[in-house]
């Protein structure tokens, strides 16, 4: 009985469904470092080599435009909607050192992600990093943050399914004692001068 020379198929390479540092190139982002971990360096030629990785939550502050997805530094042609991206891994040593002091503090770090020479490939001497936001970018980011918080506060609460489908006219109009008080939310951009939630 004859058998094929190679009856096996190579494992499929699934498309990336997570943003990487390349996804945020040139974007103004607020990065909230969550944790710093030492993990195996699978690309090192040295057996048992490790690298430091920061896990962070990333929020787009320049726009809500989706970010491109990459696999092995090559664009996949797919995008991912934002503006929130939880648990993103950053492994470049320079960027890791920029974010490490804020890991686990809840502090947002505001800046533009790119290589030292913007738009070029990350290599030794040209690492990924964050450039501090300009005062104009910071003011814009604070306004975006306020607007999103205002939108979240104004969102109506869902009605539980156990509620009756319709109320009687008398029940639909609350008495003055039942009228809920609406908390006062400051208008976007009205924060006092010097108030900046970002670093």
Give one DSSP letter per residue of 6-28, joined into a string.
----PPP-PPP-S--GGGGBT-E
Burial code (b: 16+ CB inside 10 Å, e: under 16) for 30-52 equals: bbbbbebeeeeeeeeeeeeeebb
Q: How far apart are CA 80 and CA 69, in angstroms?
A: 7
Q: How far apart are CA 179 and CA 192, in angstroms?
A: 31
Backbone angle region of 86, left / alpha / beta, with phi > 0 → left and psi within -120 to 50 → alpha: beta
Q: Can you give the pTM of this predicted structure?
A: 0.70
Query: In terms of Cα–Cα distance, which of 63, 62, 75 is closest to 19?
Result: 75
- Residue 45: pLDDT band (50, 70, 90) is confident
- Residue 14: pLDDT band (50, 70, 90) is low
Q: Average pLDDT of 79-91? A: 95
- Residue 178: pLDDT band (50, 70, 90) is very low
Query: Which position has the higher pLDDT, 192 or 197?
Result: 197
- Residue 112: pLDDT band (50, 70, 90) is very high
Q: Percent of the chain scored above 90 by pLDDT?
A: 58
């Amino acid at each position: 009985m004859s058998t094929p020379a190679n009856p096996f198929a190579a494992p499929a390479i699934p498309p990336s469904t997570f943003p990487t540092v390349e996804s945020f190139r040139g974007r103004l982002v607020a990065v909230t470092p969550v944790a710093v971990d030492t993990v195996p360096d699978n690309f090192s030629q040295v057996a048992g080599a490790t690298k430091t990785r920061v896990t962070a939550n990333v929020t787009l502050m320049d726009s809500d435009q989706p970010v491109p997805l990459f696999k092995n530094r090559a664009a996949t042609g797919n995008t991912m909607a934002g503006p929130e991206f939880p648990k993103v891994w950053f492994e470049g040593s320079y960027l890791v050192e920029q974010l490490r002091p804020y890991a686990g503090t809840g502090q947002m770090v505001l800046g533009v992600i790119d290589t030292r020479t913007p738009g070029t490939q990350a290599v030794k001497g040209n690492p990924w990093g964050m450039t501090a936001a300009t005062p104009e970018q910071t003011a814009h980011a604070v306004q975006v943050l306020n607007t999103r918080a205002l939108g979240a506060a104004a969102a109506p609460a869902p009605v539980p399914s156990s509620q009756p489908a319709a109320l009687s006219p008398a029940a639909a109009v609350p008495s003055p004692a039942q009228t809920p008080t609406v908390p006062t939310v400051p208008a976007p951009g009205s924060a006092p001068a010097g108030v900046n939630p970002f670093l």
